[in-house]
A and B are shown apart, each in its own frame.
Chain A
Amino acid sequence: AQSVTQLDSQVPVFEEAPVELRCNYSSSVSVYLFWYVQYPNQGLQLLLKYLSGSTLVKGINGFEAEFNKSQTSFHLRKPSVHISDTAEYFCAVSAGGATNKLIFGTGTLLAVQP
């Protein structure tokens, strides 16, 4: 069975500083990995996804993530954050196939301070 661990429940950071949100997964089959963002009182939006190919994936709003199969990680990074990046970020894994079931991590609250 697949599972996802987000090691940090909250990450405080100052504006314009770099940030890394950590995500580790476990799976016995090939995986597809996702990062979603949830702004306050809104639904989830897709930030980026890894399906195959290059292990460095670029998403919206300047975020990127690197798939590391040997470390079973998919950490999210941004070189310089803005106040508007304050949100909750969820890592998710899917075993693919026809069902599209996503298993989510518990989320990381990115709190950007001026």
Chain B
Amino acid sequence: NAGVTQTPKFQVLKTGQSMTLQCAQDMNHEYMSWYRQDPGMGLRLIHYSVGAGITDQGEVPNGYNVSRSTTEDFPLRLLSAAPSQTSVYFCASSYSGPAGSGANVLTFGAGSRLTVL
């Protein structure tokens, strides 16, 4: 099983450029999410989705868009990149089982390192 696949692994952008970070999972997970990781700040939730056609904002959604047209894919779009978006981005997915069932444990991708000049 591939699990959660993120592409690209590395990307350099200029301020104002746009790009999409791709995330795909092959585990039929209903729940998918995007985090960004910055030194000394841990991981912060950007956007998440509980199923195809449903998305919602996390802690730090500004400057990012998402959509969920299929169960498998959850792309993250930067419409106009800023240096403050330089970060490592992680996609994570899980089943949406009953609370406390253990089904809803996140599986993470390997990360995408983005640098905005």
Binding site for B on A (CB under 8 A): 6, 9, 30, 32, 34, 36, 42-46, 49, 51-52, 90, 94, 96-107
Contact = CB atoms under 8 A, between A and B. Distances in A.
Contacts of A36: 108
Interface of B: 4, 31, 33, 35, 40-45, 48, 50, 56, 58, 90, 92, 94, 96, 99-102, 104-106, 108-111
Contacts of B41: 106
A104 B100 CA distance: 18
Contacts of B92: 44, 102
B43 A49 contact: no
Given A98-B50, A101-B45, A49 B110 contact: no
Count chain A CB atoms within 10 A of each CB in B35, B41, B104 and give the residue with the most: B104
Given A43-B109, A94-B104, A98-B96, 12 more contacts: A9-B40, A36-B108, A44-B92, A44-B106, A51-B102, A90-B43, A96-B104, A99-B48, A100-B48, A100-B94, A102-B92, A104-B44
